[in-house]
């Protein structure tokens, strides 16, 4: 990890001076351990499984380290506050050698302009696999977003997909609960009949009826009022509201073209966004959403609420290994599952038809975020990192990072196929490398270049996994922010962060902290919060909106 001492960080560094007093010159130069391995600091989300390694994780990590004569110094960023951790490192000047971030990081363009980030395009000719990975998305397109260079490597979500836009989440719902409501003839208050969540006709009104039934219809059959419909996590502001926002055709952080003003306008203050937020607020008032969603409902809590039979649905990763991990939890929880087939208990719903009569689901480019390299490290260390990434994209590297070491984790079969040597789990299913008790940490190490996991016959033991992956993958249903590749000016980074905070606080307040006891009083309270939010948001963001319109025009939007 090499330190950058810029004027912008001097005040921050002075506050850290006592803690950093022992850092000498050796700490910011290339250093090696007793085996002459070059130290490389790597910062990523949920790296705790790399900091405390299982036996099989260690075998593979050691193999990679020995192959390239490096020692990885893993820096963990917890899922709940990883952006805060990353920005603390960046602001302090103690920038990791390589680190993950998303396109939603408002300080990104500042990092580019102050020279903190390495430009991959200066060395790509020597790394054909990396060059091919950038070509996949269009180098010119990425350079446009990256302020003229390739200052981050886009981490692929789906290696096989040729689509420019994907979504590898799903709305996991309790299929057994839905069937229980049907069997008892549950009648929603709306007077509508319940609609199968996987039926093509399922819409945003049917979604509301379903969360109502999961809350009021005693879907678990225990005679107690102890369930609710929809588990929302507290992390990432209001990002995870996107399945509901999609029903109203808006995106958290998205833009739309306003023909009346002939300009791009933020989705945040649109009438459609207001309708979506009020829709969630109505659910909250009626007890259909977990009352603690904004305070204590972290991702693990959210999952467990569905698995243990407290909540009827949640949005979560459908991709391996996390989607499979969710299904494994459900499959092993016999108290809730009641020995029924997994498909009878949990599945993924279809994309609901929205308010405009069409099916929309927010998607993203076939990468969630980027790996960036600290530009202040030595040239030799940059080359070592690039060589590791290049190898991970090779046939050998991909095989090891996905299946493990030959004759330890797998062997070749008679037809030259890969045969697992990992044995079966307690339920009799074949284990995969990324199982928690095998080498879960390797999934995150592989995230240096790819978050895709091959679904081979040897690990495809849940048909529900394929159903969940397919639920929100419709090419005609996914939509993306039209200004996805338009880079915001660097001098707007502070404003973007401030606007995100204003929006998140206002939306959560509208949903769960309004005044009044009657419906009319609550609406008046919500209207006052909304109107104040719009005025504040537009006032604070005026220069940013203007700058984005200028940037969009330059990008040909």
Q: Please provide the DSSP assignment of 317-384 as one string.
A: E-STTHHHHHHHHHHH-HHHHTT--GGGTEEEPPPPB-TTSSB-EE-EESEEEEEEEBTTS-HHHHHH
∠ CA 523-526-527, rounded to 5°: 85
Q: What is the CATH number of domain 2-160+366-451?
A: 3.40.190.10
- pLDDT, tens digit, 9 for 90 and up, residues 126-164: 999 999 989 887 888 888 778 789 999 998 877 666 557
At CB < 8 A and 24+ separation, what contacts does 130-139 make? Answer: 130/386, 130/389, 130/390, 130/393, 132/393, 133/393, 133/449, 136/366, 137/164, 137/365, 137/366, 137/367
153-156 and 367-373 strand pairing = antiparallel
Distance separating alpha carbons of residues 384 and 71, to the nearest angstrom: 11
pLDDT band at 308 (very low <50, low <70, confident <90, very high): very high
pLDDT at 28 over 60: no
Q: What is the CATH number of domain 169-363+480-554?
A: 3.40.190.10
Distance separating alpha carbons of residues 232 and 440, to the nearest angstrom: 26
pLDDT of amino acid 186? 97
The model carries a pTM of: 0.79
- pLDDT, tens digit, 9 for 90 and up, residues 406-449: 999 999 988 888 888 998 877 677 788 888 889 999 999 999 99
- pLDDT, tens digit, 9 for 90 and up, residues 119-133: 999 999 999 999 998
Q: Crossing angle for the helix pair 395-403 and 55-68, nearest 10 degrees?
A: 160
Cite the residue boundaries of each domain of the chain with CATH code 3.40.190.10.
2-160+366-451, 169-363+480-554
pLDDT of amino acid 35? 67
């Amino acid at each position: 990890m090499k330190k950058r001492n810029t004027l912008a960080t001097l005040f921050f560094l002075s506050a850290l001076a006592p803690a950093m007093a022992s850092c000498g010159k050796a700490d910011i130069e290339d250093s090696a351990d007793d085996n002459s391995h070059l130290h490389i600091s790597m910062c990523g989300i949920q790296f705790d499984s790399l900091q405390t390694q299982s036996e099989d994780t260690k075998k593979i990590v050691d193999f990679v380290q020995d192959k390239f004569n490096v020692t990885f110094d893993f820096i963990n960023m917890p899922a709940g506050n990883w952006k805060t951790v990353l920005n603390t490192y960046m602001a302090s000047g103690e920038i990791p050698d390589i680190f993950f971030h998303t396109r939603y990081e408002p300080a990104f363009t500042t990092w580019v302009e102050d020279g903190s980030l390495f430009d991959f395009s200066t060395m790509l000719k020597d790394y054909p696999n990396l060059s091919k990975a950038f070509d996949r998305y269009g180098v010119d397109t990425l350079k446009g977003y990256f302020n003229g260079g390739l200052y981050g490597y886009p981490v692929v979500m789906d290696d096989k997909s040729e689509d420019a836009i994907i979504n590898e989440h799903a709305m996991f719902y309790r299929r057994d609960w839905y069937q229980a409501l049907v069997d008892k003839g549950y009648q929603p208050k709306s007077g509508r009949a319940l609609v199968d969540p996987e039926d093509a006709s399922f819409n945003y009104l049917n979604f509301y009826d379903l969360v109502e039934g999961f809350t009021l219809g005693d879907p678990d059959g225990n005679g107690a009022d102890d369930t609710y419909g929809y588990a929302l996590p507290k992390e990432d502001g209001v990002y995870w509201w996107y399945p509901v926002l999609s029903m109203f055709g808006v995106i958290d952080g998205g833009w739309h073209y306003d023909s009346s003003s002939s300009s791009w306008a933020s989705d945040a203050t649109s009438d459609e966004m207001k309708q979506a937020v009020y829709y969630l607020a109505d659910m909250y008032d009626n007890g259909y959403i977990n009352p603690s969603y904004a305070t204590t409902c972290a991702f693990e809590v959210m999952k467990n609420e569905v698995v243990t039979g407290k909540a009827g649905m949640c949005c979560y990763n459908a991709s391996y290994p996390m989607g499979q991990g969710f299904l494994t939890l459900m499959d092993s929880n016999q108290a809730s599952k009641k020995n029924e087939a997994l498909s009878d208990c949990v599945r993924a719903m279809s994309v609901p038809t929205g308010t405009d009569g069409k099916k929309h689901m927010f998607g993203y480019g076939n990468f969630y975020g980027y790996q960036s390299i600290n530009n202040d490290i030595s040239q030799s260390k940059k080359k070592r990192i690039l060589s590791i990434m290049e190898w991970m994209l090779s046939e050998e590297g991909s095989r090891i990072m996905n299946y493990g070491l030959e004759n330890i984790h797998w062997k070749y079969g008679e037809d030259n196929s890969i045969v697992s040597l990992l044995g079966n789990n307690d339920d009799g299913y074949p284990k995969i490398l990324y199982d928690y008790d095998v080498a879960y940490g390797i999934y995150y190490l592989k995230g240096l270049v790819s978050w895709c996991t091959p679904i081979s016959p040897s690990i495809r033991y849940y048909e529900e996994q394929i159903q969940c992956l397919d639920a929100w993958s419709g090419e005609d249903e996914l939509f993306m922010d039209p200004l996805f590749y338009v880079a915001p000016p660097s001098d707007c980074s502070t404003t973007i962060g401030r606007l995100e905070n204003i929006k998140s606080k206002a939306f959560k307040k509208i949903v769960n902290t309004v005044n009044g006891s009657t419906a009319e009083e609550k609406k008046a309270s919500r209207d006052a919060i909304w109107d104040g939010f719009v005025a504040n948001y537009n006032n604070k963001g005026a220069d940013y909106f203007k700058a984005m319109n200028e940037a969009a025009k330059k990008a040909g939007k």
